[in-house]
Amino acid sequence: MVFQGGRTEKRPDLDYVLLCLINMHEDTSGYQLRSFVEKSTGYLYRAHLSQIYPALKRLHDSGLVTLREVSREGKPDLKLYKITKAGQEAAHEWLLRPYEFKNTRENGDKFFMRLIFMGHLDPEKTVQYIDEGIEELKSQREQHAKNNLKREMEYLTVSDPEIRNRYQMIWDQELAFVIAEYDLRIDWLRKIRNRLVSA
């Protein structure tokens, strides 16, 4: 433990994901955490053991987790982690921190990922988080709808009409797909929102 760093140090998202998972389940090993990252956020975010072990070391050095080593004959020591008070505060701070939206797929996925760890939170806070997400997704949806790919057909300087038509068709479909995916996500957020307010 170097210095109690619960404040707002810059940390990779992985650190917070692990912190939240350790908070859900005491005495977890790095190896177990990998499979739970997989099972919980797996569709939206993944991590390799080679990222997890250094991340746990960072968390330990900052005093956000403690560890207990269990010797096992012929095998490397098992390291079981517990969250500290500072760790719980850091996790809480992360969940409440205003989400920094960027217009990328990865950024959108991470917005949804954070939601997975919000069960501990006051539902009102989660609803506020979701509302911000809905607004952002609506605006991104409109941007895509406006930046119509059809206009960009001008870029295609290929004369063969059959090829042009094929590109046109694929790009039209592509745009429709992007819009549909945004609509699905917006809908999904609304569903969760409704369940949170009606509970």
Residues making contact with a second copy (CB under 8 A): 24-26, 36, 39-40, 42-44, 46, 104-106, 109, 112, 115-116, 118-120, 123, 144, 147, 149, 152, 155-158, 163-167, 169-171, 173-174, 176-178, 180-181, 184-185, 188, 191-192, 195-196, 199
Least distance (Å) between residue 36 CB and a second copy: 6
Closer to DNA by Cβ: residue 28 or 84: 28
Q: Residue 77: exposed, middle, or buried by beta-carbon count in 10 A (0-12, 13-18, 19+)?
A: exposed
Give the residue carrying structure tokens 């969940």: 95
Q: Distance between alpha carbon 74 and the CA centroid of its chain, in Å?
A: 37
Q: Which positions from 139 through 168 interact with DNA, judged by CB under 7 A? A: none
* Interatomic CA distance for residues 154 and 14, integer angstroms: 43
Report what 30 binds from DNA, a second copy, none; CB cut-off 5-8 Å by kind: DNA
Contact 156, 167 (CB under 8 A): yes
* Interatomic CA distance for residues 199 and 194, integer angstroms: 8
Report what 138 binds from DNA, a second copy, none; CB cut-off 5-8 Å by kind: none
Query: Does residue 40 interact with DNA by CB under 7 A?
Result: no
Give which of 148, 138, 127 is closest to 198, Cα–Cα.
Answer: 127
Contact 186, 138 (CB under 8 A): yes
Q: Which positions from 76 through 115 interact with DNA, judged by CB under 7 A? A: 76-79, 104, 106
Would you tell me which residues interact with DNA (CB under 7 A)?
12-14, 29-32, 35, 45-51, 53-54, 56-57, 74-79, 104, 106
